Amino acid sequence: MTTKKLTQKQQVLDHLKKYKSLTSWDAIMEYGITRLSHHIYCLRCEGFIIPDERIKVKTRLGRDTNISKYTLRDAV
């Protein structure tokens, strides 16, 4: 029996379906995905409704920075 390896896009979609949101930082830390915005773009092109917002977080040096938070919306 072989286990099919999930694509990064599928990992992003599965995460959004389970947890409803994903930040660029979470994608890096949890899945090693550094191009989250590309996968979000592809999912949007497939019809998924995924708005984004900028949230402020602290860097490891204590500075403020903004990252993207993507949220999966239910289809209307």
Report pLDDT for 11. Answer: 97
Considering the entire predicted model, what is its pTM? 0.85
Within 1-76, where are the H helices?
A: 8-19, 24-31, 36-45
Q: What is the pLDDT along the chain (76 residues), one digit of tens a residue?
A: 556 789 999 999 999 999 999 999 999 999 999 999 999 999 999 999 999 999 999 999 999 999 999 999 986 5
Phi, psi of 19 (to 5 degrees): -110, -5
Q: 62 by DSSP, 3-state: which?
A: coil
